[in-house]
A and B are shown apart, each in its own frame.
Chain A
Amino acid sequence: MKIDLTVNGRAASGEVEARTLLVDFLREQLRLTGTHVGCDTSQCGACVVMVDGKSVKSCTMLAIMAAGCDVTTIEGLANGAELHPMQQAFMDNHGLQCGFCTPGMVMSGLDIVNRHGRDLDAATVRRELNGNICRCTGYQNIVKSIREGARAMGD
């Protein structure tokens, strides 16, 4: 079946099967491969995108459910090569190593800001990151990145 939606501010459409997951639609049809797949049980958060302003694990959502929605992926944040403040904070604070969990971490970070504001304490960020797994960083610098990114988003 055919779906129409908005992805990173642009109209997009595609033919999908009923069982096609949003993450597979984004990756395989739109070739937005920044959104990753790290598990098959909706545990890791590597696939987090924004759907109508809310963070969603795109492996838990069927592509057809996103019809008519406004989807933002990691590719939709920067202004050309100029990083979004949240992305910049990850770079400045060494919030990534292999980069595989990173798109999901950045998107979850933005969602935490949406829900808790820009003045975040570490405990809140650690708790809110419960749906995202990183094997590389030990999280400390991710937490720091999100807190700093949140502050910088006001500037």
Chain B
Amino acid sequence: MREQGIGASVRRKEDQRFLLGKGRYTGDINVAGQTHAYFLRSPHAHAVIEGIDTSAAAAAPGVVAVLTGDDLAADGIGPLICGVTVTSDDGEPHRAPAHPALAQGKVNYVGDHVAVVIAETLTQAQDAAELVDVKYRPLPAVANTGEAAGDGQQQIHEVAPNNVCFNWPFGDKAANDEAFASAHRISGIELTNNRMVTNPMEPRAALGEYNSGTEEITLHMTTQNPHVHRLVLAAFNQLAPEHKLRVVGPDVGGGFGAKIFVYAEELVVGWACRKVNRPVKWTGDRSEAFMADAHGRDHVSRAEMALDENGRFLAMRVHTTANLGAYLSTFSTMVPSYLYAFLLAGQYATPLIYSEVKAVFTNTAPVDASRGAGRPEATYLLERLVDVCAADMGLDPAEIRRRNFIPKDAFPYQTPVVQCYDSGDYEAALDQAMELADYAGFAARAEEAKSRGKLRGIGFSSYVEACGIAPSAAVGQLGGGVGLWESAQVRFNPTGNVQVFTGTHSHGQGHETTFAQLVCDQLGVPFENIEVIHGDTARTQFGMGTYGSRSLAVGGVAIAKACDKLIAKGRKIAAHAMEAAEGDIEFADGNYTVAGTDKSMNIAEVAFTAYVPHNYPEGVEPGFDENAFFDPMNFSFPAGTHICEVEVDPDTGVVEIADYTAVDDFGKLVNPMIVEGQVHGGIVHGIGQALLEGCRYDSDGQLVTASFMDYAMPRADNAPDFRIGYAPTDPPHNPLGVKGCGEAGAIGAPPAIINAIANAIGVSHVEMPATPETVWRACQSAA
């Protein structure tokens, strides 16, 4: 292993600029002549717009333009789209209401975009927005997930009767029913998966510039996937032809899914800069993030497990209502369907699984992927259900898991829900986690806690997720409109340093470091001579971006493939230079060596020769610069067991996370320091969901939790230090042997925590977020 190669906890390249305050986030960029955009948003959850009078605002000081949905439509700027089709049980595609970027005649949630004011300064735009006169006729609102499709509910979209987007059954219902009919026992649970606001710390922002000479629009924006944004904005929104649109995601302050999607604001900024022929800048504030970023989760579910007399799982059935909000966000339909139901097997060899998902519209912000996306919802439901099964059967929660695990010699393992798991050793992770958590000593700790008046509980969560998104053919079969390969270009410069262009995007993950380690290892080039470039459609060749823990598992492999091509080309050049046969050239640690001699040539010399080809092999192109695409053969399936110990104060309902252990299988680790950081962050995200975070709309559709004062984010004193371990297996489909690690914590943590609380109090379920009030009430009911 090279000192800074694969497996080393190398300090991050990106840190110096961030620590010096020299990061360059979208909001940090100002350009000459820029104007400022301010969005006028709907104060109503549901209303008809009877008229908009912009004249007073347009005449206000500093105002450059006031634009509405009519202006947008007149310019042929298309509505926002949803890119994944789900077929409903009537054989028709999901219902897709029009989603104009600026309202046309109707608003459907608080924060919906009504008009944009563009002025010389932001305060002028804000002041003028108050002068826009909008006549609303409010309509009753639908805000409750479970009730949205019920009888007598207000209809939101004409195209979606009963507010249903799709009904999507999956699995063999008859066989499932049969298994249930003959089961020894049926255990069940009903629960909600609380709605979350993703809240990356940098709010969304965009800066649009139009060059009337080249007719090119440059859009700097908070994006996790610049090329996807360019593609959708060009192909579906008619913002500009793809080759006349440049999307740049400079430094981006976290994403967690919220910056994948094509939103109204970025589209409007791109369009407006051409319309007013001035640069237009929009910097969202936190209130806007709460109102108009896509939210996450928001399911109401019930699930049942059929068990035999030994506690083996025979069949599972699930019914879920998923709230998609007022409109379909870019990838919304696939989250409660393919990313959810296909993960319901978890780590278990349950032979039959049947699920029904009803996706509904409500007068709330659109809901889409948020860290984990579908997999946290599936894991939470399953792992809570497993604990209920254990209690019903009188089995230890570890034991019931162990009895039902897919055995390690059964991989690759075809689940009954489409996915074929690559590799795993679930018992190894469980054993290691129990050891690290000192499960054997739990009873004594609980006893000791009791003496202090505290209820101590322990909870398990054994999760599996699907990462490395995704094999393009599978995406196509499922109704997705894109391929999910990744691309890379690895370029030597004549002076021997290397630029790596990746189509993934780093917004905290540390790709500039991890990918440099890959290249350092493979090409034998010093780490400091490698620069990783991403996030600019004018610099990187193409790419599908970063989400679904795909960057290393898909993007990293593309880089490795490009390196392979360089090595192969270099062999020809070195053979010629050293007057040897190509077959006699060996490459190791950056050097081409003639086998059995001490003749060698460093790859940097080879690169120089390729650019100064005075003595060069015939038929070989000059230059030392290769690109590659990689389309994964399968998803990757990280898995693990998390164990949480809580102490509940029965008098106050306050829950303290007393201990937390995570043992994960991410395959091979390239930078263990970075991986561990991802695990920490994911777990705390999961602690947020389990204990603190809950996005609430009232029955009128008003957003009650619209700031950090009402929506509780996890803070430093909400978590302890974690015990982290790894139980890696080798995924055969992935050439680098990696699986992905960015979402695991957020998936594994919520059920581990709630299982621990239920265990502490002695109840079968506690809803998330398990706030002191909720927990106190549960304590009362248990007493």
Residue A96 at the B interface, CB < 8 A? yes
State whether the Cβ of A39 lies closer than 8 Å to any Cβ in chain B. Answer: yes
Query: Interface code A52-68, partner B: CB below 8 Å = 1, 0 otherwise?
Result: 00000000000000000
Q: Kindly supply a per-residue 1/0 record for chain A positions 72-104, scoring 1 wherever the CB is within 8 Å of any chain B CB and 0 otherwise.
A: 011100100101000100111010111111110
The answer, among B123, B202, B680, for a CB contact under 8 Å with A36, is B202
Complex-state Cα separation, A51 to B20, whole angstroms: 18
Contact B201 A40 (CB under 8 A): no
A48 interface residue, CB < 8 Å from B? Answer: no
User: Is chain A's interface secondary structure helix, strand, loop, or mixed overall?
Assistant: loop
Q: What's the Cα separation between A130 and B24 when bound, in Å?
A: 26
Instruction: Return A148 CB to nearest CB of chain B, in Å.
Output: 14
The answer to whether A91 and B674 have CB atoms under 8 Å apart is no
- B19/A135 in contact, CB under 8 A: no
Q: Which residues of A contact B510 (CB under 8 A)?
A: 97
In the assembled complex, which residues on chain A have CB atoms less than 8 Å from the CB atom of B254? 97-98, 100, 135-136
CB distance from B61 to the nearest CB of A (A): 13
| A window 100-155: CB within 8 A of B | 100-103, 106, 122-123, 125-127, 129-130, 132-143
Determine, out of B453-461, B463-471, B474-482, B682-690, the stretch whose residues face the partner at the interface: B682-690
Q: A97-B510, A101-B201, A133-B713 are in contact. Are A40 and B11 (CB under 8 A)?
A: no
A40 in contact with B508 (CB, 8 Å): no
> Are B719 and A140 in contact, with the CB atoms below 8 A?
yes
B205 CB to nearest chain A CB (Å): 10
Chain B interface residue bracket vs A = 35 or more
Task: Check A36/B25 contact, CB under 8 A, given A94-B12, A133-B713, A135-B685.
Answer: yes
Question: How many Å from the CB of B30 to the closest CB on chain A?
Answer: 8
Q: Say yes or no: is A43 at the interface (Cβ < 8 Å to chain B).
A: yes
Bound-complex Cα distance A73 to B201 (A):
19
With A39-B708, A97-B510 known to touch, is A19 a contact of B203 (CB < 8 Å)? no
Known: A40-B286, A78-B20. A99 touches B14 (CB 8 A): yes
User: Could you tell me the distance in whole angstroms from the C-beta of A97 to the nearest C-beta in chain B?
Assistant: 4
Nearest Cβ in chain A — how far from B252, in angstroms?
7
| Contacting pair A135 B20 (CB below 8 A) | no
Q: Give the total of A residues in contact with B, Cβ under 8 Å.
A: 57
Across-interface contacts of B707 in A (CB, < 8 A): 39-41, 43
**A14 at interface by CB-CB < 8 Å:** no
Contacts of A35 in B (CB 8 A): 21
B287 within 8 Å of A by Cβ? yes
Q: Which residues of B contact A17 (CB under 8 A)?
A: 123
- In the complex, the answer to whether B508 meets A99 with C-beta atoms within 8 Å is yes
Chain B, Cβ-Cβ closest to A122: B721
The yes or no answer to B70 lying at the interface (CB within 8 A) is no
- Minimum CB distance partner of A91 in chain B: B15
State the B residues within 8 Å of A (CB). Answer: 11-12, 14-25, 27-28, 30, 123, 199-203, 251-254, 256, 283, 285-287, 507-510, 673-674, 676-677, 679-685, 707-709, 713, 715-717, 719, 721-722, 745
